[in-house]
């Protein structure tokens, strides 16, 4: 886990992909059926590995680069590089905004489960509090490598959630009113929404160069090892979540799995899971903020050189 290690870069890249979209994976099966949902998940996994193989091989052939901007300038030209920066700004800003919305929803849900009076009235306060005292200080780190230790919180959070879904699965079968109807294959307009959810769950390409910035050995083999391990770890968690989540409630599955109706009057274990996911999203925000900051720099400055003035800006 030392600075520049394969393991540190792998965990940082894994945490980049783990976000709010993971909680919607069981909903994919609600939209298009269990079989088609699993097929989409596997397609998302293979597409991610394929896209990374193109990035790594091209980066290796052109001598290696400090960031996505420099990589694109060498491979497809400066015009495409600036276009990518614009796309990355819109995408990452939207993703980070989504993180804030999910964090607020989860905190509000925790308070409601604990029956805190007027919990729904403090949503804006929650966002401001978390942003000012947790997310903003974390965003001051220059490199994603600084998160090689605390990124474990994101992974532990998703691991705990997956384990909890398995543990609670038998209790849903003891309460038939909580379960709907099993659907193996369903093709409708929800297919496009489901496809977007599965691909978004694997998206971590914008943070790739930030994750390997401090990597000591940046050869093809080491970069490929980081990507394969990271994406495969995500797939392992996702399969557990999508199966245990959907098989608990079938076509009554909610858009966010942690918002489902619990078989218990007070589900303390799920409240803990919500808290861990909030912590994971708070870490995922600054990890995704690093490539966003570089993309903004790419639109304003001619180079990506680090200076105190640019950093403060």
pLDDT digits (tens, 9 = 90+) for 210-246: 788 777 888 888 899 999 999 999 999 999 999 999 9
Calculate the CA dihedral of residues 190, 191, 193, 199 and round it to 10 degrees.
160
In DSSP notation, 271-296 reads: HHHHHHHHHHHHHHHHHHHHHHHHHH
pLDDT higher than 60, residue 119 = yes
Calculated CA dihedral for residues 178, 184, 190, 193, nearest 10 degrees: 90
Q: What does the pLDDT read at residue 124?
A: 84
pTM for the full predicted model: 0.82
Q: State mean pLDDT over 14-18.
A: 77
Per-residue model confidence as pLDDT tens digits over 83-102: 888 888 888 888 888 888 88
Measured CA to CA, the distance from residue 191 to residue 189 in angstroms comes to 5
Mean pLDDT for the stretch of residues 11-30 = 82
User: What mean pLDDT value characterizes the chain?
Assistant: 84
Q: Shortest CA distance to 236 belongs to which of 8, 3, 17, 7?
A: 17
Which domains does the chain carry?
6-298 (1.20.1740.10)
Whole-number pLDDT of residue 42: 95
- With H, G, I as helix, E, B as strand and everything else as coil, classify residue 114: coil
CB atoms closer than 10 angstroms to residue 29:
28
Model confidence at 148, pLDDT cuts 50, 70, 90, reads: low
Average the pLDDT over 6-17 and give the result.
79
Backbone angles phi, psi at 37, to 5 degrees: -65, -45
């Amino acid at each position: 886990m030392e600075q520049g290690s394969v393991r540190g870069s792998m965990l940082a890249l894994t945490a980049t992909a783990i976000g709010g979209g993971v909680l919607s994976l069981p909903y994919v099966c609600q939209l298009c059926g269990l079989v088609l949902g699993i097929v989409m998940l596997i397609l998302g996994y293979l597409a991610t590995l394929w896209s990374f193989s193109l990035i790594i091989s091209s980066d290796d052939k052109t001598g290696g680069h400090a960031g996505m901007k420099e990589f694109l300038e060498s491979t497809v030209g400066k015009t495409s590089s600036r276009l990518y920066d614009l796309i990355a700004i819109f995408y990452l800003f939207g993703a980070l905004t989504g993180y804030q919305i999910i964090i607020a929803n989860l905190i509000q849900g925790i308070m409601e489960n604990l029956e805190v009076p007027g919990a729904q009235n403090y949503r804006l306060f929650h966002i401001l509090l978390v942003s000012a005292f947790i997310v903003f200080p974390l965003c001051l780190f220059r490199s994603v490598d600084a998160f090689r230790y605390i990124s474990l919180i994101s992974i532990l959070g998703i691991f705990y959630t997956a384990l909890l879904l398995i543990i609670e699965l038998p209790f849903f079968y003891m309460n038939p009113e909580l379960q709907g109807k099993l659907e193996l294959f369903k093709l409708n307009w929800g297919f496009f929404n489901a496809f977007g959810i599965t691909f978004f769950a694997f998206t971590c390409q914008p943070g790739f160069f930030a994750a390997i910035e401090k990597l000591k050995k940046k050869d093809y083999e080491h970069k490929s090892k980081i990507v394969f391990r990271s994406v495969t770890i995500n797939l392992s968690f996702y399969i557990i979540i999508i199966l245990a989540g959907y098989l608990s409630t079938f076509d009554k599955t909610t858009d966010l799995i942690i918002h489902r109706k619990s078989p218990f009057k007070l589900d303390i274990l799920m409240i803990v899971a919500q808290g861990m996911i909030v912590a994971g999203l708070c870490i995922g925000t600054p990890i995704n903020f690093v490539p966003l900051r570089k993309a903004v720099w790419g639109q304003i400055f001619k180079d990506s050189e680090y200076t105190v003035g640019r950093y403060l800006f």
